[in-house]
Amino acid sequence: MTIAPPDARAADDAALDDHRRDYESLAERLDRRGLRADDVVDAVRRFEVAVPSWALGTGGTRFGRFPGPGEPRTLDEKLEDAAVVHRLTGATPRVSLHLPWDDPRDPDALKAHAAQLGLGFDAVNSNTFQDQQGQRLSYKLGSFSHPDAAVRRQAVDHNLHVVEVGRALGAEAITIWLADGSNYPGQMSLRRSFDRVLDCLREVYAALPAGWRLFTEHKPYEPAFYATVVQDWGSSLLLAQSLGDRAQCLVDLGHHLPNTNIEMVVARLLGAGKLGGFHFNDSKYGDDDLTAGSIKPYALFLVFHELVLAERDRLPSFRPAYMIDQSHNLKDPVEDLLQTVDQLQLACAKAWLVDHDALAAHQESGDVLMAERTLKDAFETDARPLVAEARRRAGAALDPVRAFRTSGYRATKSAERVGGIVEARGL
Ligand code: LRH
Ligand code: MN
Ligand code: MN
């Protein structure tokens, strides 16, 4: 038995009058600041972010995993849940697959099912950081940087397979994150390991179908605790620049050492024409994969500010592939995704509320306080009516989490989806 996805509007009726009043009063206040609420609503409606297939099941840590009832058991069921997220937010029309976690046996059938649900596919992610059952050679000592050419061959072949599956699904990019590195000084050659990674990437790059891009994703540590081969944006940029125009860097918000100024990294990559994609999440300590905006919402806003500037300045290379990359360990995965999209839409709306002319003037005249206050004015505005209005105009829900809870979707799925185990990250 299947049920219709939650009706985005059903839970909204009672709240609609209040929403209209809130929106009009905010629009009036923005008007006094020389801003048009409708323009911000349009900008929020342009924002789209992909949902990763692995985030629809409960995540885990290496200490344990606590799955909830009604989780998807198959890739098709994950698509059903992804469609719910899109229906309620209007902002997630594409799914990102992670192979081999979610390797479709029949890509054509999966593509057809996704299309029925109103979904397409975004960047595909390869995985050479784990050994899979039946795998011939081990990645224990690396994949693209492994000293043994046969292991490197196996890892490249896996990436070529991922590109092939992605092509069949209509995706147009591959994201490559490598766990390659070492736990102890002396374990690997710091220079040769990087050269090997570049050589392997060249092979994947050469096989990209027309119109495709390749994203290199960096991360400072974990699982390699002494030295990771692609550890920061500098290494990532070197790789992307060596590969060519269709290679760009991907910034995962959790992949920076503490106190890194991530918006600076974003600005640098944008300036170099090399910002290709984003993995959104939040963190307190490391690569915690918490809900975006849950720990450092101002930092998220400042990142969005750079992205909005890039859009306003019409940077020619700016075509970012946005994805959520979180591990939903404690919250219902669908609810967590709904909350995440809301947080991203809010950060986006606030970034569009910045008075850019005033900011530029304060920068030119060296008025430090007023420049900062211009950003704060935008960040401290309660932008919730704007994102609710953007969703309403997209036929989605004013309040996606409320709509999801009212629908009883999870309870219905709990009765329907029994006896399955989903593949989960972190275990
Ligand atoms: C690595 C990472 C990378 C992987 C995903 C599962 O920490 O961010 O993007 O593909 O997690
Ligand atoms: Mn990531
Ligand atoms: Mn990560």
Average pLDDT, integer, range 189-217: 98
Please report which confidence band the pLDDT of residue 418 belongs to, taking 50, 70 and 90 as the band edges. confident
Q: How far is the CA of 54 from the centre of ligand 2 (A)?
A: 12
- Pairwise CA distance, residues 7 & 403, whole Å: 8
- Nearest CA residue ID for atom 3, ligand 1: 177
Q: What confidence score (pLDDT) does residue 62 get?
A: 85
Q: Which residues pair with 249 in a beta bridge?
A: 216, 275
**Tokens 């960040």 sit on residue:** 379
pLDDT tens by residue, 124-159: 999 999 999 999 999 999 999 999 999 999 999 999
Q: What confidence score (pLDDT) does residue 13 get?
A: 80
For residue 389, the 8-state DSSP code is H
- Checking if the pLDDT of 195 tops 50, the result is yes
Whole-number CA gyration radius for the chain: 22
For residue 279, the 8-state DSSP code is E
pLDDT tens by residue, 314-337: 999 999 999 999 999 999 999 999
First to last CA, the chain: 31
- Whether this model's ipTM surpasses 0.90 comes out as yes
Ligand 1 atom closest to the CA of 98, numbered from 1: 10
Question: Encoding tokens for residue 71?
Answer: 């989780």
Do 344 and 280 touch, CB atoms closer than 8 A? yes
- Pairwise CA distance, residues 252 & 131, whole Å: 23
Average pLDDT, integer, range 233-251: 98
Packing angle of the helix pair 37-46, 333-352 (nearest 10 deg)? 130
Ligand 1 atom closest to the CA of 252, numbered from 1: 8
Number of Cα atoms under 13 Å in the Cβ half of residue 144:
28
Q: How far is the CA of 409 from the centre of ligand 3 (A)?
A: 29
- Residues at CB less than 6 angstroms from ligand 1: 98, 125, 177, 217, 219, 252, 279, 287, 325, 425
Residue 250 phi, psi (nearest 5): -115, 130
Average pLDDT, integer, range 407-427: 78
pLDDT tens by residue, 54-63: 999 999 888 9
From 133, 119, 135, select the one nearest 56 (Cα to Cα): 119
CATH class as words, domain 46-354: alpha beta
Q: How far is the CA of 10 from the centre of ligand 3 (A)?
A: 36
Average pLDDT, integer, range 157-177: 98
Q: How far is the CA of 230 from the centre of ligand 2 (A)?
A: 13
- Nearest CA residue ID for atom 4, ligand 1: 177
Please report which confidence band the pLDDT of residue 3 belongs to, taking 50, 70 and 90 as the band edges. very low
Ligand 1 atom closest to the CA of 125, numbered from 1: 10
Best substitution site from 325, 326, 327, 328 to test ligand 1's pocket, by max atoms within 8 Å of Cβ? 325
For residue 282, the 8-state DSSP code is B
Please report which confidence band the pLDDT of residue 7 belongs to, taking 50, 70 and 90 as the band edges. confident
- Pairwise CA distance, residues 159 & 180, whole Å: 15
Could you state, in order of their start, the residue ranges of all structural domains in the chain? 46-354
Mean of the per-residue pLDDT values of the chain: 95
Q: What confidence score (pLDDT) does residue 427 get?
A: 45
- Checking if the pLDDT of 217 tops 60, the result is yes
- Checking if the pLDDT of 1 tops 50, the result is no
Q: Is 228 helix (H, G, I), strand (E, B) or coil?
A: strand
Please report which confidence band the pLDDT of residue 2 belongs to, taking 50, 70 and 90 as the band edges. very low
